[in-house]
Amino acid sequence: MLTFYLAKGTVAVAVAILLEELGVPHHRRIVDFATEGQRSPDYLSLNPKGRVPAIATEDGVLTETGAILAYLAEAHGSAFLPDDLVTRAHVREVMFYLASTMHVAHAHKMRGARWADRPESWQDMAAKVPDTMADCCRYLEDALAFAPFAVGAEPTIADFYLFAVVRWAEGDGVTLTDTPRLSEWFEMMSERPSVRKLITEGEVL
Ligand SMILES: N[C@@H](CCC(=O)N[C@@H](CS)C(=O)NCC(=O)O)C(=O)O
């Protein structure tokens, strides 16, 4: 059985949603950020990057949200992946954007020490987060189909990844109602049974 390593409210939420949607039996292991569990020797031996999510499969450990989502989707008959080549490329386009740009923008709020040594530099980085996250939301507002899902009529793994990241926007000082299409999509995703279940359980969301 899969073992899924996560911390509450992190990007690992995307994987948690997909596991629920697919009904994949798995063990959950909560990595306790409060005690720096992500940097414990045990966890680093599993994922040397010291990040979540990670999954341990019978074929080894996988990390990176987008890679895990694609692996799980493909392992289950390409569920939540469009058949059409170009639409599937748009799914990856969204996920790469989230990994390379929007998640990194968000990380500047709490993780400035990754990039700079001086506390005043961290403050400067954190102060920029409402702007950079708002820019990301505006980009998504204009670029995505929202028809009603991110890339078309059916939900894809890009929706689950996007949900995990857009959840951070309000806390990062962004008013989601400024981007009405994104906001409406977010409300719709919040009502999915998988998401409601995770909220009710309270361990992941
Ligand atoms: N590119 C990675 C980023 C993972 C990542 O940075 N996760 C954060 C939580 S949202 C984390 O584990 N942070 C712990 C730390 O920085 O110590 C992915 O998408 O899986």
pLDDT of residue 196: 98
Judge if the beta carbon of residue 65 lies within 6 A of ligand 1. Answer: yes
Band (pLDDT 50/70/90 cuts) for residue 2 is very high
Q: Looking at the CA of residue 106, tell me the nearest atom of ligand 1.
A: 10
- All domains in the chain, ordered by first residue: 2-78+196-201 (3.40.30.10), 85-191 (1.20.1050.10)
At 95-108, the pLDDT tens digits run: 999 999 999 999 99
Question: Which residue lies with its CA nearest to atom 11 of ligand 1?
Answer: 51
Q: What percent of the chain has pLDDT over 90?
A: 100
Angle between helices 119-143 and 180-190 (to 10 degrees): 90
**64: Cβ below 6 Å to ligand 1?**
yes
The amino acid at residue 52 is: V
**118 CB near ligand 1 (under 6 Å):** no
Cα 169 to ligand 1 centre (Å): 16
Using the Cα atoms of residue 154, residue 160, residue 162 and residue 168 in order, give the sign of their dihedral.
positive
Tell which residue, 34, 51, 8, 3, has the closest CA to residue 198.
Answer: 8
**68-81: pLDDT as tens digits:** 999 999 999 999 99
The structure tokens listed for 190 are 């919040």
Asked if residue 52 has its Cβ within 6 Å of ligand 1, the reply is yes
Confidence band for 145, pLDDT divided at 50, 70 and 90:
very high
Query: For residues 109 and 174, is the Cβ–Cβ distance under 8 A?
Result: no
114 lines ligand 1 (CB under 6 A): no
CA distance 37 to 89: 35
Which H or E run contains 183?
helix 180-190
* CB of 68 closer than 6 angstroms to any ligand 1 atom: no
What percentage of the chain exceeds 70 in pLDDT? 100
- Average pLDDT of the segment spanning 149-169: 98
**Cα 11 to middle of ligand 1, angstroms:** 7
Q: Is residue 38 in contact with ligand 1, taking CB distance under 6 Å?
A: yes
Q: By the 8 A CB rule, do 50 and 39 touch?
A: yes
The dihedrals phi and psi of 127, each to the nearest 5 degrees, come to -65, -25
Helix (H) or strand (E) holding 55: strand 54-57
Residue 36: C-alpha distances to residues 52, 56, 119, 191 (Å): 12, 20, 20, 32
In this predicted structure, what is the pLDDT of residue 154? 98
Supply the residue whose CA is at minimum distance from atom 12 of ligand 1.
51
Amino acid at 99: A
**What pLDDT shows up at residue 17?**
98
Position 42 scores a pLDDT of 97
